[in-house]
Structure 1
Amino acid sequence: MSAAKTFIETYYPALSTSRSSLSSFYMPASTMPDGKPLPVIVYNGNIIPDPTSMQSLFQEQMPETRYEVQDYDSQVLNPHYVAEGAQGSAPSSGKNMTILVTVSGYVKYGEARSAATRGFSESIVLIPNPDVVGGRGKAGKEWLVQSQNFRLVV
């Protein structure tokens, strides 16, 4: 699925070289009816409250990182999703779905050649960007993270 491929080809390099843009990969912070925050971001078991906090984590606390995606898969979760701000019918762009993307690969933390390489696994739910789907002409990413769960593996 081209949405997953495009996301992977832009998001993982941004974690290494464009950390100041990380929050732009996420849907705007909001609250679910039950009071829980959106987007849902879990990084290695730690709940990250919002996209700005995720960006701050990488900018201020994380050493240099290099991600190598080994494999990914994507599946449509909801083929009839209507983005907030979009009209009630399916948009002509065809972006009326949510997509589950599962990613696995390796990450290296630190600059030294001897820095440890760790495996990772990640599940991400992408939703259409309402600014793009709604036709507001705002330049930006076509898909945004609604939910993310990152885990280091052995």
Structure 2
Amino acid sequence: MPSGMEDDILVQLSYSAAKAFVSTYYADLHNAREKLSSYYSPTASISWNGNQLTGGADVQKLHTQMLPATYEVQCFDAQPLLPNGRGQCSIMLATNGYVKFGEEKDAALRGFSETLVLEPDTSTTPIQFLVTQQSFRFVF
């Protein structure tokens, strides 16, 4: 069982990794949708407003068929999940914010809430995190 200091370190590392993920992922949702599949494990389980998708290719296809969108994350929270015994742990990331579809300045903002599970990809150096589970919902 991790000590209090180890818990604090895991929380800080989870926050740092989640902050980096949020800053790049949501920017790519707006500017570089062709990169989306690289954020997902091939077998990721995704629920996007009740629609079931599998892996990054499905997510990329969904977003390329949509109007351009601007995501504004208002807040996020990241918590480490149990370490895997190899010195790594997954991260549960919750985000909330607004999304605007279309390019018009006065396009309506819609609230969204999203929960993602990020797992370390040990095949990359430095280690990056991939989405293995995602649940996205519009907030009404």
| Interval containing the TM-score (normalised by the shorter chain) | 0.7 to 0.9
Task: Give the equivalent residue in structure 2 for 1:104.
Answer: 96
1:7 matches 2:29 = no
Matching residue within 62, 82, 85 for 1:78: 82
Offset from partner CA, 1:129-149 (integer Å, 9 cap, x none):
1212xxxx5x7x611101000
User: Per residue, is there more helix in 1 or in 2?
Assistant: 2
State which of 68, 73, 89 in structure 1 corresponds to 2:72: 68
TM-score when normalising by structure 1: 0.77
Q: How many residues align?
A: 126
Taking only the aligned residue pairs, the percentage that are identical comes to 43
Match of residue 86 from structure 1: none
Residue 121 of structure 2 corresponds to which residue in structure 1?
A: 129
- Post-superposition shift, 1:49? 2.5
1:73-105 deviation line (CA, Å, top 9, x unaligned): 0111222x2xxxxxxx62xxx5x1011000000
TM-score w.r.t. the length of structure 2 is 0.84
- Kindly report structure 1 stretches of 4+ aligned residues shifted beyond 2 Å: none
Gaps of 5+ in 1: 30-37, 82-88
**Aligned CA-pair RMSD:** 1.5
Structure 2 residue matching 1:58: 3-state secondary structure: helix
